[in-house]
Homo-oligomer: A and B are copies of this chain.
């Protein structure tokens, strides 16, 4: 145990991190990205006495309003990256589509958590599916596509219906297009910009669920209860806990998430999205995708749990022991997309609604503006 009074120097603190020690209160955590996830991470770090330095090119970043330090610079600004790294004890990120060169530059100076391997896997759908398959985890059938001939072969192998998805930079349904019975493959390839892609077999799922898992620097793992997710126009609409799945399915989902974290030697919160399929009353799980960060489907933990996904991510990257992941209530999280956040006054007056607004200064269609958690007695 270290005294706050005789706090180690930054160089000493960094050494402690490398040695698996915990970061003392007063340490600085860098967060790459200044959106709502970075903002909620910073809000969770403060009660632990940990400071946050947000790096984001957008001067209007919502996370800047709650952070001890701010860097407004492009993600490939080497001078700014070096100054950022020099101010930190550890660095984490709120989105996975970071240039790996920037991460490697930061990693020369300061520990990056979760690590570069998790990022490399999560940035590329082909690498992700291959990693999961190699780890013995069920995924939808898939095949890589680089050109029209490749697409034709892939669709022949996997069959229709299927989905064509770019390997990189896809989120909220962007960069993907369905391949049905009549789809013209040349047109589909143009639809995704002719980029390196994969074809995935269409999964006739009954439910989408997710697990928010966390792994500490000491290798300890924990999971929150499984959430059932409903999307609208490819954007998460609600997450409900507990999910209406069989107990053994929930156990499987948690076991898979923990297996992924251990295999990646992961540190931090990991979001794992699953498809649930059902045959003759038996449920099976396929991993849809993984997110190496705090995840929208875990926002319910802010109000239903003693320790939220945000606090547990901060604990993990700071080398602290994980906090408990139990919940004291059932919960439904509802995203406020675009103009839905204009209902803030009604939501503020709803005693059952816990409101979380992101402080974004402009409402745009499809933009995540906030969310609401509603709790009920634990079932």
Contacts and interface: CB of A to CB of B under 8 A. Distances in A.
Interface string A331-374: 00000000101111110110100111111011100000110000
Nearest to A354: B306
Given A4-B341, A306-B303, A355 B47 contact: yes
A127 interface: no
Contacts of A324: 351
B344 A4 contact: yes
A48 interface: yes
A3 interface: yes
- With most chain B CB atoms within 10 A of its CB, the pick from A315, A348, A361, A375 is A348
Contacts of A67: 65-66
Interface in A44-84: 46-49, 51, 64-68
A195 interface: no
Given A339-B5, A343-B1, A357 B49 contact: yes
A47 B43 contact: yes
Interface in A240-287: none
A329 B327 CA distance: 13
Contacts of A8: none
A64 B39 CA distance: 15
Contact of A65 (B51, B303, B320): B51
Interface in A304-324: 306-307, 315, 320-321, 323-324
Given A66-B43, A348-B315, A351-B323, A4 B48 contact: no
Contacts of A178: none
A362 B5 contact: yes
A328 interface: yes
A25 interface: yes
Contacts of A232: none
A218 to B, nearest CB: 11
A47 B357 contact: yes
Number of this chain's copies in the assembly equals 2
B357 A48 contact: yes
B342 A321 contact: no
Given A303-B306, A357-B49, A375-B306, A344 B65 contact: no
B359 A25 contact: yes
A49 B1 contact: no
Nearest to A359: B49
A357 B318 CA distance: 15
B5 A345 contact: no
A22 interface: yes
A246 to B, nearest CB: 28
B65 A1 contact: no
Contacts of A20: none
A39 B235 CA distance: 34
Contacts of A315: 348
A26 interface: yes
Contacts of A181: none
A226 to B, nearest CB: 21
Contacts of A43: 43, 46-47, 66
Given A47-B356, A51-B359, A303-B306, 20 more contacts: A1-B344, A1-B346, A2-B345, A3-B363, A4-B341, A4-B344, A5-B339, A5-B363, A22-B345, A25-B341, A25-B357, A25-B359, A26-B359, A43-B46, A48-B355, A51-B65, A65-B67, A306-B354, A320-B348, A328-B329
Across the A-B interface, the 3 shortest Cβ-Cβ residue pairs = A49-B357, A65-B68, A5-B363
